[in-house]
């Protein structure tokens, strides 16, 4: 039996070819699918149907869907609610999806098997991915007492963003992602995080350059920064320390529960 069997997935928005193909694949795994328009989705509906994951086609949607996402994002549901958003493959669209609380995004033409793999990972079938992500994804619960710690994450790996979104949600830490760091300083000023998690290997930009930029900003320079990267050379560690990083974690050697506990300690 698959980890997806009898999971309740809510598909929201128009059903284009990508959504139709994905529905067929999910049906094959025994998923129970519900289909709604954005204006019909409420926290009560999500709770009553015992929804496990929401998939939103945001290609042609507008303010109604944005309002729906904001309501869900700001409502304390009885369980973590991962949201996948289908958007055009454009940086501004992707940034918007992540800022609206998406655990991950899909783009037109993305391979269905790849999407299924992402969804399986959300539900815990991830041991076969450990070698590719090089992090410990065992479902351990972090020992934290604080809630409401705002975390800004700069990370380009979709799988790792998925895993972090689950851990942060379970800890009741509001979060926002940047997948490439290009607009990170502006986004952080808007989000006002208590802690920043920074990858070093990003598309088109070095994470150390981003660290240098944010430490020049008066309203950001005092925020604790956790470097979280597989780039583990002596020079990177030295440079990160010189630029003001508070600690340096190597993905391949770090349990995410430990990372969550460090976030709490840094925010105190």
**140 domain-assigned:** yes
pLDDT level of residue 172 (50, 70, 90 thresholds): confident
Q: What percent of the chain has pLDDT over 90?
A: 47
Which of the two residues, 220 and 128, has the higher pLDDT score? 220
- Residue 55 in this model has a pLDDT that exceeds 60: yes
Place of tokens 């000023």: 189
Number of domains in the chain: 2
* Residues 140 and 12 occupy one common structural domain: no
pLDDT level of residue 43 (50, 70, 90 thresholds): very high
Domain end point (choices 125, 147, 165): 125
Q: What is the pLDDT of residue 136?
A: 45
Could you tell me whether strands 151-154 and 175-178 are parallel, antiparallel, or unpaired per DSSP bridges?
A: parallel
Q: What is the pLDDT of residue 7?
A: 95
pLDDT level of residue 145 (50, 70, 90 thresholds): low
**Mean pLDDT in the chain?**
85
Domain end point (choices 60, 91, 125): 125
Top mean pLDDT of 1-5, 70-74, 243-247 is at: 243-247
* DSSP label at residue 242: H
- Residue 139 in this model has a pLDDT that exceeds 50: no
State the alpha helices, DSSP H only, in 103-206.
Answer: 112-122, 130-133, 158-170, 184-191
pLDDT level of residue 150 (50, 70, 90 thresholds): very high
Closest CA to 103 of 124, 118, 91, 88: 118
pLDDT in tens, 65-117: 989 988 887 777 766 678 899 998 887 787 778 777 777 788 898 889 888 98
* Residues 42 and 16 occupy one common structural domain: yes
* Residues 30 and 107 occupy one common structural domain: yes
* Residues 157 and 257 occupy one common structural domain: yes
Across 161-169, average pLDDT:
82
**220 domain-assigned:** yes
Across 23-40, average pLDDT:
95
pTM here is: 0.58
Query: What CATH code is carried by the domain that includes residue 156?
Result: 3.40.50.2300
Domain membership of residue 63 as a residue range: 8-125
CA distances from 154 to 33, 62, 133, 180, 223 (A): 32, 26, 16, 7, 14
Q: What percent of the chain has pLDDT over 70?
A: 90
* Residues 81 and 153 occupy one common structural domain: no
**3 domain-assigned:** no
- Residue 134 in this model has a pLDDT that exceeds 70: no
Q: What is the pLDDT of residue 61?
A: 66
Q: What is the pLDDT of residue 125?
A: 60
* Residues 114 and 136 occupy one common structural domain: no
Q: What is the pLDDT of residue 148?
A: 87
* Residues 75 and 14 occupy one common structural domain: yes
**1 domain-assigned:** no
* Residues 173 and 110 occupy one common structural domain: no
pLDDT in tens, 106-128: 889 888 988 898 788 777 665 33
- Residue 198 in this model has a pLDDT that exceeds 50: yes
For residues 41 and 240, what is the distance between their CA atoms, to the nearest angstrom? 44
* Residues 79 and 60 occupy one common structural domain: yes
Which of the two residues, 116 and 62, has the higher pLDDT score? 116
Q: What is the pLDDT of residue 118?
A: 79
- Residue 137 in this model has a pLDDT that exceeds 50: no
* Residues 152 and 118 occupy one common structural domain: no
Letter string b/e over residues 9-23, b meaning 16 or more CB atoms within 10 A of that residue's CB: bbbbbeeeebbeebb
**39 domain-assigned:** yes
Q: What is the pLDDT of residue 170?
A: 80
**2 domain-assigned:** no
* Residues 72 and 114 occupy one common structural domain: yes
* Residues 105 and 175 occupy one common structural domain: no
Across 34-44, average pLDDT:
95
Domain end point (choices 76, 100, 125): 125
- Residue 25 in this model has a pLDDT that exceeds 90: yes
């Amino acid at each position: 039996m698959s980890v997806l069997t009898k999971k309740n997935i809510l598909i929201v928005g128009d059903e284009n070819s990508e959504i139709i193909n994905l529905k067929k694949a999910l049906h094959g795994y025994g998923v129970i699918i519900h289909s709604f328009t954005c204006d019909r989705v409420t926290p009560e509906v999500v709770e009553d149907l015992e929804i496990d994951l929401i998939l939103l086609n945001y290609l042609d949607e507008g303010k109604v869907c944005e309002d729906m996402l904001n309501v869900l994002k700001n409502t304390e549901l009885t369980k973590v609610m991962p949201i996948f958003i289908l958007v055009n493959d454009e940086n501004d669209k992707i940034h918007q999806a992540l800022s609206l609380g998406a655990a991950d995004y899909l783009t037109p033409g993305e391979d269905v098997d790849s999407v299924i793999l992402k969804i399986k990972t959300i539900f815990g079938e991830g041991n076969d991915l450990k070698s590719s992500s090089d992090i410990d994804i065992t479902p351990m619960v972090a020992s934290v007492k604080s809630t409401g710690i705002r975390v800004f994450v700069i990370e380009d790996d979709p799988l790792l963003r998925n895993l972090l979104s689950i851990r942060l949600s379970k800890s009741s830490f509001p979060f926002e992602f940047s997948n490439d760091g290009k607009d990170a300083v502006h986004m952080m000023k808007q989000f006002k995080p208590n802690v920043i998690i920074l990858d070093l290997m990003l598309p088109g930009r070095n994470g150390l350059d981003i660290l240098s930029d944010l430490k020049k900003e008066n309203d950001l320079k005092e925020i604790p920064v956790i470097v979280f990267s597989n780039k583990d050379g002596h020079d990177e560690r030295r440079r990160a320390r010189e630029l003001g990083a508070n600690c340096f974690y190597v993905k391949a050697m770090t349990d995410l529960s430990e990372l969550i506990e460090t976030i709490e300690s840094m925010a105190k």
